[in-house]
Amino acid sequence: MEAEQALAMLRRVRHDFGNYLQVILGYIDLDRPEQAKNYILDIVQELATQRNIFESLDAEAALYFYQQLLMARDLGIILHYNELQIRSWTTLKKQNQPFSSLKSVLPEFNGTDDDPIINLSLSESEAGVAMLFEWEQPQAGTLKVIV
């Protein structure tokens, strides 16, 4: 990852952190401590789901897949990585995966109010890297892509 890309990602994380703090302060200003607490718990849970990226991949791969997570968020998708059983991810990077496949499932979520949560498992075999996308809302669905 280039220094400029890393800096852009760091700026994004700082911006998101500032937004989280503003929402929490808003709940406190409105005397809604329970909502502030629930919001903080949601953030903690989201950070816990992201831990898998940083604990199971080397540094460069972790940064790439975290960047993909942020790009998914820009589409209005909450991406959770379940399994990350891969060693070679350069083919995914060349094809801008999993982001490219996520864009193809967007029509599934037209008309929904909440951001969809998509769980992604990556596994590697002789056939390539298999990406299994799974979601529960608005109705359960899956998409398997082999790259």
CB of 91 closer than 8 Å to CB of 147: yes
Lowest-pLDDT range of 38-42, 70-74, 111-115: 111-115
Interval 73-95: pLDDT, tens: 999 999 999 999 898 899 999 99
For position 1, what pLDDT does the model report? Answer: 62
Contact criterion met (CB below 8 Å) for 84 and 122:
yes
What is the pTM (predicted TM-score) of this model? 0.87
Would you say 117 and 136 are in contact if contact means Cβ atoms under 8 Å apart? yes
pLDDT single digits (tens) 18-67? 999 999 999 999 999 999 999 999 999 999 999 999 999 999 999 999 99
